Amino acid sequence: MAIEVRSAPKHWDLASYGRTVVTDTANTARDRTAVGAQLTWDSAQLQKDRTAGFLHPLEHA
């Protein structure tokens, strides 16, 4: 996980800057748990279930 270090612009007070960093971090975390990330997990879980014998591959005619 990369940590971005930024310096606050001189016209900001430190309390405002701290809230901005927390918001940016929360937005980044939400992006990682977006729909695409869930689909990747579902695909991996499906493969595990198939390998364990819970699911059978579809027969192609």
Give residue-wise pLDDT tens across range 12-21: 555 555 555 5
Tokens read off for 13: 């007070």
Distance CA 42, CA 50 (A): 12
pTM for the complete prediction? Answer: 0.30
d(CA 7, CA 9) in angstroms, rounded, equals 6
Q: What are the tens digits of pLDDT across the range 28-45? A: 655 555 555 566 667 778
For the CA atoms of 9, 12, 18, 20, what is the dihedral angle to 10 degrees? -80
Residues 6+ apart with CB under 8 A from 46: 55
